[in-house]
Homo-oligomer: A and B are copies of this chain.
């Protein structure tokens, strides 16, 4: 087992900088497209043998130092009783948005062994195949809340903020239920064999820091505190969260993820004794080889004083990225960081 990724998460010295990429299993790979050809995204998420296959696909091509469970951040939310669809091009749709006490009240705190057995099965199967660590994950409570409230993705998150600002008690009640579900889902992933856990706060970046502090931070702290006894690296990634890094450093996570808008040196300064994960612009993978190498070199150099650095993109791989460029990037990271 190559433990470089786990060592970097714990801030231990490593022989080189480990690398994985958000959405490394995904639509930019023709072999993934082939699997998806016959099956919807949501069905795929529920078929362990296919999840194993697509999780492994990038590892066959690239020297990634970690695998990430193939699933979706909203899988536990569906198990709460929300009707979930994936619309090609529009992303996830929640059929009946939760905007009042009644719909919030109806949400269940889902027992994952019963409602999400396929996730645990995928993890068990993957652990037999993998020689790099397996990352489990969930959506962070706020991000899940936005989907439940908006009924899908949104541009301005009007309904979410309307509830936060005009019905704060209802909003807190919803966050409470999602947090408990998230704790159970992530503990079940750990029990099945996940070796690190990442919370994706995809939409945290729509909030002013003062609102993040009141409406989001306490729930991330609760979720991570309730995972603390597992003794696994915990990663928190608030997308577009440049101004939330100070507060994100107080979540209790071991690793602070950062998107590409942030200078990696600034992220490290805020991270204190946490490791950092990131943060190449995913579309910088379109740079010609020499310039890509130079940019990766600058990023590695900027991160040289981190208490652990896991190289990653600042967001998921874009679907039009040529796989050969991903291969180049992974190899450059290894070549340039070998000590």
The reply to whether B165 and A261 form a contact with Cβ atoms under 8 Å apart is no
The reply to whether B243 and A284 form a contact with Cβ atoms under 8 Å apart is no
**Known contacts A156-B318, A158-B283, A242-B242; A208/B261 CB under 8 A:** yes
The reply to whether B158 and A207 form a contact with Cβ atoms under 8 Å apart is no
The reply to whether B158 and A284 form a contact with Cβ atoms under 8 Å apart is no
A92 interface hit (Cβ, 8 Å): no
Q: In the docked arrangement, what's the CA distance between A176 and B291, Å?
A: 23
Complex interface bits, A237-281 against B, C-beta within 8 A gives 1, otherwise 0? 000101100000000000000001111001000000000000001
User: Pick the contact of A281 from B161, B260, B286, B291 — CB < 8 Å?
Assistant: B161
A211 interface hit (Cβ, 8 Å): yes
Q: Tell which of A162, A243, A262, A314 has the most Cβ of chain B within 10 Å.
A: A243
Q: In the docked arrangement, what's the CA distance between A298 and B210, Å?
A: 11
Q: Give chain B nearest CB distance to A89 CB in angstroms.
A: 10
A39 interface hit (Cβ, 8 Å): no
Residues of B within 8 A of A318 (CB): 156, 158
Residues of B within 8 A of A156 (CB): 282-283, 318
A320 interface hit (Cβ, 8 Å): yes
A288 interface hit (Cβ, 8 Å): yes
Residues of B within 8 A of A283 (CB): 156-158, 161-162, 165
Known A165-B284, A205-B261; further 18 A-B contacts with Cβ < 8 A: A156-B283, A158-B283, A161-B281, A161-B283, A165-B286, A166-B287, A166-B288, A207-B261, A208-B260, A208-B261, A208-B281, A208-B284, A208-B314, A240-B240, A240-B261, A242-B243, A242-B261, A243-B262
14 pairs, A vs B, C-beta closer than 8 Å: A158-B318, A161-B281, A162-B283, A165-B284, A165-B286, A207-B261, A207-B281, A208-B260, A208-B261, A208-B314, A209-B263, A240-B240, A242-B243, A243-B266
